[in-house]
Amino acid sequence: MGLSKELQERWERMLRSPDRGEKLRALTEIGQAHDLVGSEESPLEKVRLGGAMSTRSETETLPTTLKDLILEELRSSKDPIVRAEAVLALVHWRDEETVNAILQMLNDQDSTVRLAAVQALATMGDAQFIPSLLEVAESDPEELVRAHALSALEQIPKQAVKGWQKGGTSDLVRGGAERTSGAIRARGGTGIPDLATALEQIASTDTSRYVAFLAQKARKRFV
Amino acid sequence: MSTPSKQQLCGLKGYLDPSGCARSLERIVEHYNRVGRQVLNNARNTWSISWPRDLPIDVAELFQGWYLPDFKSLEIDNMPLTNVCLTSLVAQWHLKLFTVLDRFCQEETRRRVLSGFNVVNDLLFYLTNDTEFQRFWNALGNPAPGRCPPDRNPQNVNDALACLIDTINDPSKQGKFYPDPATLNTILNAAQQAGLSQDRFLGGAAGNMAYVLSQMGVEVHIHCPYHSGQLRWNELDPSARYLEFNHNRYQSIPADPGDPNLPCKITVGFQSAPGWSFSQLNIQATQPGRALFIGRHPTLNPQHRQWNDVEVNWQGQNYPWNGPWQNDREVWPHPTVLGSWRVNGQTLEIIPADDALVTQLAQGERYDVALLKDVGALLRCNELEQARKTQLDELRRSQIPIHVEISPRFNFAFLRHLISNSPFGNASYWSAGLNPDELLDITDQGMQPSNYNNFQVDPYLFPKSTVRESLLQRFVRGLHLLKLLKLDWIYVHGNELDIAIWRKEACDQIEQLGTNTGGKLRDAMLLAKAAVVAAMIVREPSPRLQQLINSRLAQGSALAVKGFWALLSFAQQFSEWTANRYGSSKQNVYQDLLDNGFYELGNDFGVAVAPVFWPDEVQFLNATGAGDYSSAVVAAYVWGS
């Protein structure tokens, strides 16, 4: 199923509206629009922006203007709920700009936004986000955000993790946020053994029993 | 000490997956909002378009109004249900569930409960193909199916066979039947003669409650009229004791093994597997189904019965107690009171424990709660009913609360009479649990008003809806029953959302409940749902199925999505209801319910909720007793310190 011009215009109109409720509704709907971008293994590849990368007709791709409007909200809104919802709406795009924008939100001052950013990375489910998620799990001040990062880590498909281990950094995050060079590479490592060690460390040092438990559980997956 | 159930329960922590669950919930909400509205609009259009032109259009509108519900968004004003709300909701509740499970797995608090009175020898036979059914039918003597009676009391094999066939063909029908002892015996013998594979459990409400609690590390004292060796006592943890009375004293003895020549109640169940047919009797087993033939009375081979009459010895006098045992030597009475029995010549004497002995028991054992399933049922003997009232009053006087799992077969005026005259004013020291179907039956207008000691109870609330009732309607029925019976709190255990309601004026006075009744109820309900899943897995006789369920659970907790859905739905409905009825802030109520899982309305009542941790896969397990498990856990962990 593709994105109709009508729907696209409706969302754009709502995002331009000064009304907070309208904006939130548009962002929520966009975030939930999984059916519109197909159900293939990597649906987000299909909606990559820039025309040349897409194999679909114009009406079947999410337009750059929509993405730009969301990014604009993400960068300028003072309302944490709007920023959080914008992060979640961006999951359909996997170009460098949006992925970097999402990764930056892992440092947002509001924990709801950081939680949303973790959830966005979980939804994308790409092994390249492992270092970023790990760093959140290690250092975010909020228990729920750390826990969610560990849950997201655990949800990354095993095959993707193997591929990541072999292939190193992908186009998605290359040259992007500094965050991606986080925890693992800071230790001088790049692979699963380092990830397991980092998780073990979290499991033994985090003051939250919940986080420690989830770290141990995630570790088992990678050992 | 760790039992298999406790290990399984603590292991459930490992199946929590907040991020996957949030993603599933997000998709479900989207689908509901988009497709739900569309489907309902389509149905309305179809109705209008297909309506014959020559019939009055106002009738079509009338029908439409009655049978097609309006689309109801999950949101409330000014609070859009955004994706981050869902993510946050799921994350918070996973933390709550983890905390509850973790606390349970760490804690050393000793709880002690009394569980009575209904303990049953639960036999389950499996019908997995037409050959097995043929063998069973042959063993019955190839009777023609009769007609399953609407009152569910088949009095001959033909009618019982019809009930079984009905349930196999349509498992959605309630498959509980109450045959007479002879019919039950014939069914049991045929199932055994046919060589159907079978399992056996310690069943009945008291048996199930004792099972789940003893496996969770609670010290259970179980009391039923006869410590029969036919019952599977060895399913209980060895810490469980059988409570025995003997004139002026009581003692707790090991529950295992019981006396071989004592009667017990029997339930004969048939579990049918899908994928077979039996054309001679028009059977098509397309889905898994279960029919239970429940014996109402304890039975024993007549050769072991030495007595003819039954008398109740109460306050030094003997009173006759008449019942089916007068005409059927297989049948024994089932006195659901604390007490003992003895055979004196040709008479079976039932001796209820007197007030002094019950006080001695209460003060000696300091039970956290007495789980007494059957107390709402009449005994058809005034002296036994008086004894019951006296015993329950004595327990309450010692601040031992009574928890009862309510059945539609109760006499509610009698139950109200038992709860009345609390020694603690507004606090009754009494709680109850029941499932939504039972709640619906009890509060439906079809229930007969009844009289007891001039106390008139009219259970009418509103009629059953033609469509599935909303969670708010369930809550309103629960609140009505809570106040009608003057319970301290009531627990409605559902398949998607658990709801507990408490009377504030009562609970605020009860020391055991502390100052956080809502949080306590919420946590106990979360623990209960996990305990139910764990108990069902552990009690599953097939290791393969156990393994399968665990591996499915390990794939993630998308399993909890329907619970979150129900939570959102209830929060939306309840916040609108309280805003209209009590002028509360809709937003505050909504947010409180979602964030905390409870809300208190002034000095009137409070409501606590918990999304159900109940994976779809569990439907393949034996769900008999799940309601008893839930109720027992909530009672033990709310009343227990």
pLDDT band at B31 (very low <50, low <70, confident <90, very high): confident
The pLDDT score that the predictor gives to residue B615 is 67
pLDDT band at B48 (very low <50, low <70, confident <90, very high): confident
DSSP A4: P
A164 and A218 share a domain?
Answer: yes
The pLDDT score that the predictor gives to residue A102 is 96
The domain locations on chain B are: 1-106+434-641, 120-204+254-352
Q: Is residue A111 domain-resident?
A: no
Taking an 8 Å cut-off on Cβ atoms, the answer to whether B84 and A119 are in contact is yes
pLDDT band at B230 (very low <50, low <70, confident <90, very high): very high
Q: Which of A45, A77, A94 is a domain's end point?
A: A94
Q: Which has the closest alpha carbon to B325: B345, B342, B308?
A: B308
Q: Which of B84, B94, B556 sits opposite A85 (nearest CB)?
A: B84
The pLDDT score that the predictor gives to residue A196 is 86
The count of structural domains within chain A is 2
Q: Are A150 and B98 in contact (CB under 8 A)?
A: no
Q: Is residue A112 domain-resident?
A: no
B359 burial via Cβ count (<10 Å: 0-12, 13-18, 19+): middle
A142 and A75 share a domain?
Answer: no
When pLDDT is averaged across residues B146-160 and rounded to a whole number, the result is 95
For the stretch B506-521, pLDDT in tens is 999 998 899 899 999 9
When pLDDT is averaged across residues B21-50 and rounded to a whole number, the result is 84
Taking an 8 Å cut-off on Cβ atoms, the answer to whether B82 and A85 are in contact is yes
The pLDDT score that the predictor gives to residue B614 is 64
Euclidean distance between CA atoms A135 and A119, whole angstroms: 15
Transcribe B549-563 into DSSP letters.
HHHHHHT-GGGGHHH
Q: Tell me which chain A residues have a C-beta less than 8 angstroms from the C-beta of B88.
A: 112, 115, 144
The pLDDT score that the predictor gives to residue A180 is 41
The yes-or-no verdict on residue A101 having pLDDT over 70 is: yes
Cite the DSSP H helix spans in B366-503: 382-397, 412-419, 436-443, 471-485
Between these two residues, B162 and B76, which has the higher pLDDT value?
B162
The yes-or-no verdict on residue A44 having pLDDT over 90 is: no
Between these two residues, B56 and B78, which has the higher pLDDT value?
B56
How confident is the prediction for chain B on average, in pLDDT? 91
The yes-or-no verdict on residue B575 having pLDDT over 90 is: yes
When pLDDT is averaged across residues B621-628 and rounded to a whole number, the result is 85
The pLDDT score that the predictor gives to residue B552 is 78
For the stretch B443-467, pLDDT in tens is 887 777 776 666 677 777 777 776 7
Q: Are B612 and B492 in contact (CB under 8 A)?
A: no
For the stretch B430-447, pLDDT in tens is 999 999 988 988 888 777
A69 and A131 share a domain?
Answer: no
Taking an 8 Å cut-off on Cβ atoms, the answer to whether A155 and B556 are in contact is yes
For residue B519 the two structure tokens come to 């949080």
A139 and A192 share a domain?
Answer: yes
Q: Which of A33, A85, A148 sits opposite B18 (nearest CB)?
A: A148
For residue B122 the two structure tokens come to 């639960």
Q: Are A134 and A195 in contact (CB under 8 A)?
A: yes
Q: Which of A122, A154, A209 sits opposite B23 (nearest CB)?
A: A122
Euclidean distance between CA atoms A42 and A172, whole angstroms: 13
Q: Which of A88, A122, A214 sits opposite B83 (nearest CB)?
A: A88
The pLDDT score that the predictor gives to residue B442 is 86
For the stretch B250-295, pLDDT in tens is 999 999 889 999 999 999 999 998 899 999 999 999 988 899 999 9
Bridge partners, B343 (sequence order): B348
Euclidean distance between CA atoms B1 and B3, whole angstroms: 7
The pLDDT score that the predictor gives to residue A51 is 32
Q: Are A31 and A85 in contact (CB under 8 A)?
A: yes
The pLDDT score that the predictor gives to residue B452 is 66
The residue range of the domain holding A45 is 1-94
Instruction: Enumerate residues 6+ apart whose C-beta is below 8 A from B38.
Output: none
Q: Which of A45, A73, A94 is a domain's end point?
A: A94
When pLDDT is averaged across residues B470-497 and rounded to a whole number, the result is 94
Transcribe B69-87 into DSSP letters.
PPP--S-BTTB---HHHHH
Phi, psi of B164 (to 5 degrees): -65, -45
Euclidean distance between CA atoms B577 and B473, whole angstroms: 10
Residue B106: closest C-alpha in chain A: A209
The yes-or-no verdict on residue B582 having pLDDT over 80 is: yes
DSSP B297: S
The pLDDT score that the predictor gives to residue B80 is 78
Give the 3-state secondary structure of residue A193. helix
Taking an 8 Å cut-off on Cβ atoms, the answer to whether B19 and A122 are in contact is yes
Task: Identify the weakest region by mean pLDDT among A24-33, A205-214, B119-128.
Answer: A24-33
Picking from B83, B88, B99, B557 by the largest number of A CB atoms within 10 A of its own CB, the best residue to mutate is B83
The yes-or-no verdict on residue A208 having pLDDT over 50 is: yes
Taking an 8 Å cut-off on Cβ atoms, the answer to whether B94 and A147 are in contact is yes
Q: Are B443 and B437 in contact (CB under 8 A)?
A: no
Q: Which of A94, A118, A148 is a domain's end point?
A: A94
Q: What residues in chain A have their Cβ under 8 A from chain B's Cβ atoms?
A: 21, 24-25, 27-29, 31-34, 81, 84-85, 87-89, 112, 115-116, 118-119, 122-123, 143-144, 147-148, 151-152, 154-155, 209-210, 213-214, 217
A161 and A82 share a domain?
Answer: no
Q: Is residue A107 domain-resident?
A: no
When pLDDT is averaged across residues B465-488 and rounded to a whole number, the result is 90
Topology adopted by domain B120-204+254-352: Adenosine kinase, small domain (3.30.1110)
Q: Is residue A119 domain-resident?
A: no
The yes-or-no verdict on residue B119 having pLDDT over 80 is: yes
The yes-or-no verdict on residue B151 having pLDDT over 50 is: yes
How confident is the prediction for chain A on average, in pLDDT? 79
* Number of CB pairs, chain A paired with chain B, less than 8 A apart: 90
Instruction: Enumerate residues 6+ apart whose C-beta is below 8 A from B313.
Output: B349, B350, B351, B352
A152 and A193 share a domain?
Answer: yes
Task: Identify the weakest region by mean pLDDT among B135-149, B269-283, B606-620.
Answer: B606-620
Residue B327: C-alpha distances to residues B184, B323, B332, B346 (Å) = 16, 8, 11, 15
Residue B100: closest C-alpha in chain A: A210
Percent of chain B with pLDDT over 70: 97
A4 and A85 share a domain?
Answer: yes
A133 and A221 share a domain?
Answer: yes
Euclidean distance between CA atoms B437 and B107, whole angstroms: 35
Euclidean distance between CA atoms B338 and B112, whole angstroms: 17
What is the distance of C-alpha B215 from the center of its chain?
18
When pLDDT is averaged across residues A177-188 and rounded to a whole number, the result is 44
- Give the dihedral of Cα atoms A63, A67, A68, A70; nearest 10 deg: 140
Picking from A29, A90, A207, A210 by the largest number of B CB atoms within 10 A of its own CB, the best residue to mutate is A210
Residue A117: closest C-alpha in chain B: B84
pLDDT band at B322 (very low <50, low <70, confident <90, very high): very high
Q: What residues in chain B have their Cβ under 8 A from chain A's Cβ atoms?
A: 13-14, 16-20, 22-23, 26-27, 29-30, 78, 80-84, 87-88, 91-92, 94-95, 98-99, 102, 556
Euclidean distance between CA atoms B140 and B161, whole angstroms: 9
The pLDDT score that the predictor gives to residue B74 is 80
The pLDDT score that the predictor gives to residue B455 is 67
Query: Phi/psi zone of residue B366: left (φ > 0), alpha (ψ -120 to 50 degrees), beta?
Result: left
Residue B600: C-alpha distances to residues B8, B254, B426, B537, B565 (Å) = 34, 44, 18, 36, 22
A222 and A145 share a domain?
Answer: yes
The pLDDT score that the predictor gives to residue B126 is 93
pLDDT band at A191 (very low <50, low <70, confident <90, very high): low
Q: Is residue A121 domain-resident?
A: no
